[in-house]
Amino acid sequence: MIYYGLYVLENPGLVAVLVIADNVPGLIAMPFALAVSNKIGKRKAALGGLLLTMIGFVIMLLNIHNIPVFVAGLVIKGIFFAPVQGSTNAFVADSALYGEWKTGVKSEGMAYSAISFANKASSGLSGVVVGWVLALTGYVGGAAVQTPSAVNGIIFLYIGVTLICTIGQIIVFAFYNLDSKMPQIRKELNERSGR
């Protein structure tokens, strides 16, 4: 976001606007996303939200230099990403219960530890990828103006990588099928434990 504000929009003052537009709408939408998830199921809400975030990406890509249009795209993307953000831990819990049902071994702690490790590893990896892409595209630290290839690298990092990751999430949720099985899994686990 910082690089995007500095070198694509050429206005460092807009970084705060980008941060707010990218994060606050999702926080505001979270209670509504929870209600939608409870009504239609976590998977459908997450998958539908991810598909609708594509509207935000399309709007952002219409004109990456038009600040109102770009911010509108960020807001839409943030709103529709809320079902995924709000239900991440619930998906982990369901997966752990599925593992217990399938193998007989409780593994909630391991599941949450794996997610924590994955978050830390991906955070570190993302920093490395940013550095690599900037270096490969000719970014010069501290320069007031960057080359067109460096600016394109920044645009790819800010929009392209997020779009690719969103498409990956859509593919994952398209194959996720535990929502419909969870009532039966919970019932059988309760019967096994004598609850």
Q: Residue 194: its pLDDT value, please?
A: 73
**How many CA atoms are closer than 13 Å to the CA of 133, on its beta-carbon side?**
17
Question: What is the CA angle 34-40-42, rounded to 5?
Answer: 55
Report the top-level CATH class of 2-193: mainly alpha
62-85 pLDDT, tens digit per residue, is 888 889 999 999 999 999 999 998
- Whole-prediction pTM: 0.85
pLDDT exceeds cutoff 90 at 128: yes
- What number is the average pLDDT over the span 146-156? 94
pLDDT exceeds cutoff 80 at 98: yes
Q: Residue 195: its pLDDT value, please?
A: 63
Asked if residues 79 and 27 have their Cβ atoms less than 8 Å apart, the reply is: no
Closest to 91 (Cα-Cα) out of 184, 172, 191: 172
21-56 pLDDT, tens digit per residue, is 999 999 999 999 999 999 999 999 999 999 999 999
